[in-house]
Chain A
Amino acid sequence: MTTSLLAYLLIPLFTAILIPFAARKRQKLADILATVTLLAGLINIGAILFNPANIANSFAGVPEDGFALLMIFVIYLVALCVTFFSAYFIGEDSKVNRVPYYSLIMTSVAAMCGIVIAGDFFTLYIFVEVLAVTSFAMITSDDSAKGLEGAIKYFLLTFPASLLILFGIAFLMLTAGTFSFENIKIIIASGMPVGPVVFAVSLILLGFLIKSGVVPFHTWTPDAYEGAYAPVSAYLAGIVTKISGVYAVIKISIMFRLFEIRAYHTADILMFLGMLSIAVGALAALRQKEFKRMLAFSSISQIGYIILAAGMGTPLAILGAIFHLVNHATFKTVLFLNSASLEKGAGTSDMRKLGGMEHSMPWTSWTSIVALLSTAGVPPLSGFWSKLIIIIALWDGGAKTYAVLALLFSVVTLAYFLIMQKNIFFGKPTEASRNAREVRPAMLAPVVVMCLLIVALGVFFPYIYAYLVETIAARIIL
């Protein structure tokens, strides 16, 4: 655990508890409290990450784990966009009660920070459970039937995952006598028979794979994302499932490198599941008629890239996985927030009912284009670089078939997104789109900021790469 980062956990938790008392009379105060807390945190962490002095001396003055810092930045960024968007999205007649809604978001931010600064598997598990409990309630925020269905599926399918993780932790305690990341690394390095430790870690890995929604454990994702209250699906897809599942998978795969040849089969399986997710997610997304559902399958496919790279396990692959995780958070938040804007502006996100929306909602249309091009890996946007790193790492590591397939499915990604763009934004206006109106500027602001970030991450990639190498590859992986 990193004590210096503890404030990023404690302050949102404090705000979460403060909100019900402070905003009892004036519910609008809940928006303000949540947004201000997140903005302050974001500025704070931004000052560390983008400080020219830190960049100049290769982050030598920042002793913290670079991976955790980057993740906290992304958590705060996505949460801020979602809370700011929600403040204007929740109408006066909405069923959503602002006070518990923002308290839940702040608690989940605290839980996610807890996950990324945890120093052992048990702490990680506790915070993952906090996150699961809050997500379950957030999915049902608007009390719709679909939301309840999604929440129940989410709960039922991720519960066995928690059980597996708990079993794994117990087994780890029995075999290794510890569950701290550092101690496990030492045990592996000391050359003791690692079979049982690999087994325990694999059990934990399986649990986290289910929580990430990797094929074949993906059945809960489309329902949960589609049914969830619109801004909540952006939050879930953008950051929550990434931190509650994918983050731990990357963390474990860094550990697997230390097992060297003895854990190679586990890494092989991880790569296979990653590839399967890419393929199944992309092919299923091609056939979807509902925007949010399509985005959910696209999420599964993009997570596949991260898992594939994590399975490869070379330092370059891990860097690619981490960067793709950051990028995925940015572009998926944009796309899901745009689907929420469509629901608000046109009353539906069903692609069959929409068409020609670029005339009535130009900003939403253009930000979608930026996000989809980045997802598909078109240069010079951020998604291009992360996919490039992953494919180069795969090729270098000898997984040439996977490298070629990953490249090919990138084209499929572009295909399904272009079909989506054509169906929703281009073409002839339909009945629903004629009556549609662009959402207010305040709701466009988070989306535009995210788009600028997508472009910036792509254009300033050399700096990002230097950060990844200096703080993550040099300190954690090697």
Chain B
Amino acid sequence: MTYHTLLFILVATAAMTAVMARNLLLSAIMLALVSVGASLILFDFQAPWAAVFELSVCAGLITVLFVSAVSLIRNEEGKVKDLRARFYAMPLVIAIVAVATWFYGIPFFDSLKNCALSGGRNNSLGSILWDIRRFDLLGQVSILAAGVFVINSIFPRRKKQK
């Protein structure tokens, strides 16, 4: 249970940072962290397929897209007036939600624990990744490489033009 709680706290903190960060790149990375945490939780609830998908698509692919988009608008970032005041209420909202979770969330997750045991298939994350979806990992390596080359191909030209 401690493992779960820690993961939840990690996901919540990362999500909050993603919303509140001034730096868009940090937001994108934090969002990836949320996905990684979520996939670990999914895995622990014996949903290895969902976990692997979350890890591949959200943590891998979408982060590449976000990072490339962020690098595109880098130069404009400072010029736009920041309207972030309303986000300062975030920590307060989180605190209220945290207290509510203390009362309702923990019993709920305790009840889920039984579901997890009944639905489990005894697959470890490692065996799913390496035995069944090994080829997809290669695909993800390719997509990361492709993302890097796309950035490498498009952005230097922009700089030259400026």
Question: Which residues does A use to contact B, with CB under 8 Å?
Answer: 1, 9-10, 13, 16-17, 20, 95, 97, 99-101, 103-104, 107-108, 110-111, 114, 118-119, 122-123, 126-127, 129-130, 133-134, 136-137, 140-141, 143, 173
- Check: B130 CB closer than 8 A to any chain A CB: no
**A111 contact from B49, B56, B142, B156, Cβ within 8 A:** B142
> Is B146 in the interface zone, CB < 8 Å from A?
yes
Listed by A's residue number, 20 A-B pairs whose Cβ atoms lie within 8 Å are: A10-B138, A97-B156, A100-B153, A104-B150, A107-B142, A114-B139, A123-B135, A126-B56, A126-B140, A129-B143, A130-B139, A130-B143, A134-B149, A136-B150, A137-B149, A137-B150, A137-B153, A140-B154, A143-B157, A173-B49
Tell me whether chain B's interface is mostly helix, strand or loop, or mixed: helix
Most buried by B among A9, A16, A123, A133: A133
- What chain A residues lie within 8 Å of B140 (beta carbons)? 126
Question: Are A13 and B61 closer than 8 Å at their CB atoms?
Answer: no
A20: chain B residues within 8 A (beta carbon): 152
Q: Which residues of A contact B157 (CB under 8 A)?
A: 95, 97, 143
Q: CA separation between A13 and B139, bound complex, in Å?
A: 10
A108 to B157, CA, bound (A): 21
A-B CB proximity, top 4 nearest: A100-B153, A126-B139, A137-B150, A100-B152
Would you call A13 and B49 a contact (CB within 8 A)?
no
Closest to B61 in A: A129
Q: Which residues of chain B from 8 to 43 have any CB-CB distance to chain A below 8 Å in the complex?
A: none
- Does B136 make an interface contact (CB < 8 A)? yes
Contacting A at CB under 8 A, from B109-162, are 133, 135-136, 138-143, 145-147, 149-150, 152-154, 156-157
Residues of chain A within 8 A (CB-CB) of B61 are 129
Closest beta carbon of chain B to A404's beta carbon, Å: 43
**Distance of A72 from chain B, by nearest CB (Å):** 16
Partner of A101, one of B138, B147, B153: B153
Q: In the bound complex, do residue B135 and residue A118 qualify as a contact, i.e. CB atoms below 8 Å apart? A: yes
- The interface residues of chain B lying within 8 Å CB-to-CB of A141 are 153
Apart from the given pairs A110-B142, A114-B135, A129-B61, 8 other A-B contacts in the complex at a CB distance below 8 Å: A97-B153, A97-B157, A103-B153, A107-B145, A114-B138, A126-B140, A133-B150, A137-B146
In the complex, what residue of chain A is closest to B156 when comparing beta carbons? A97
Tell which of B133, B143, B146, B156 has the most Cβ of chain A within 10 Å.
B146
How far is A108 from B147 in the complex, measured between Cα atoms in Å?
Answer: 12
**Minimum Cβ distance to chain B for residue A268 (Å):** 34
Q: Residues of B with Cβ closer than 8 Å to A? A: 49, 56, 61, 133, 135-136, 138-143, 145-147, 149-150, 152-154, 156-157
Separation of A104 and B142 alpha carbons in the complex (Å): 10
A13 vs B138: C-alpha distance in the bound complex, in angstroms? 10
The answer on a CB contact under 8 Å between B154 and A123 is no
Q: Are A111 and B138 in contact (CB under 8 A)?
A: no
> Are A104 and B143 neighbours in the complex by a CB distance under 8 Å?
no
Whether A127 pairs with B145 at a CB distance below 8 angstroms is no
A100 in contact with B149 (CB, 8 Å): yes
**Cβ of A103 and Cβ of B135 under 8 Å apart?**
no
Contact status of A16 and B149, CB under 8 A, knowing A114-B142, A126-B56, A130-B142? yes
Contact among A127, A134, A173 for B139, CB-based, below 8 A = A127
Q: For the complex, give the distance between the alpha carbons of A110 and B140 in Å.
A: 12
The interface residues of chain A lying within 8 Å CB-to-CB of B153 are 97, 100-101, 103-104, 137, 140-141
Residue of A nearest to B150 (CB): A137
Chain A residues whose CB sits within 8 angstroms of the CB of B156 once the complex forms: 97
Q: Across the interface, name the chain A residue whose C-beta is closest to B145.
A: A107
Contact assessment for A107 and B149 in the assembled complex, using a CB-CB cutoff below 8 Å: yes
**CB-defined contacts of B139 to chain A, threshold 8 Å:** 111, 114, 123, 126-127, 130
The residue on A at minimum CB distance from B139 is A126
Closest A residue, CB atoms, query B53: A122
Are B56 and A104 closer than 8 Å at their CB atoms? Answer: no
Pairwise interchain contact A127-B149, C-beta atoms closer than 8 A: no
CB pair B143 A133 closer than 8 Å: yes
Interface centre among B140, B141, B152 (most CB of A within 10 A): B152
Residues of B within 8 A of A133 (CB): 143, 146-147, 150
Question: How far apart sit A183 and B137, CA to CA, in the bound complex (Å)?
Answer: 21
B66 to chain A, nearest CB (A): 14
Name which residue of chain A comes closest to B144, CB basis. Answer: A130
Report the minimal beta-carbon distance from A218 to chain B, rounded to whole angstroms: 25
* Distance in Å: Cβ of A122 to nearest Cβ of chain B: 7
Choose from A119, A137, A173 the contact partner of B154 (Cβ within 8 Å). A137
- B135, A130: Cβ atoms under 8 Å? no
Give Cα A111–Cα B140 distance, bound, in whole angstroms.
10
Q: Give the distance to chain B from A389, nearest Cβ to Cβ, in Å.
A: 33
Contact indicator A104/B146 (Cβ below 8 Å): yes
Task: Tell me the complex Cα distance, A97–B153, Å.
Answer: 7
The answer to whether B142 and A122 have CB atoms under 8 Å apart is: no
Bound together, the chains give a CA A95 to CA B56 distance in angstroms of 34
- Residues on A with C-beta less than 8 A from B149 are 16, 100, 103-104, 107, 134, 137
Q: Closest B residue to A136 by CB, please name it.
A: B150
> Which listed residue, B133, B141, B146, touches A134 by the CB 8 Å rule?
B146
* A103 touching B152 in the complex, CB below 8 Å, given contacts A126-B56, A173-B49: yes
Q: How far is the CA of A100 from the CA of B149 in the complex (A)?
A: 6
The interface residues of chain B lying within 8 Å CB-to-CB of A126 are 56, 136, 139-140, 143
Q: Which residues of A contact B133 (CB under 8 A)?
A: 122
Give chain A residues whose Cβ lies under 8 Å from the Cβ of B147: 133
Q: What CA separation (Å) do A133 and B154 show in the bound complex? A: 12
Bound-complex Cα distance A129 to B61 (A) = 9
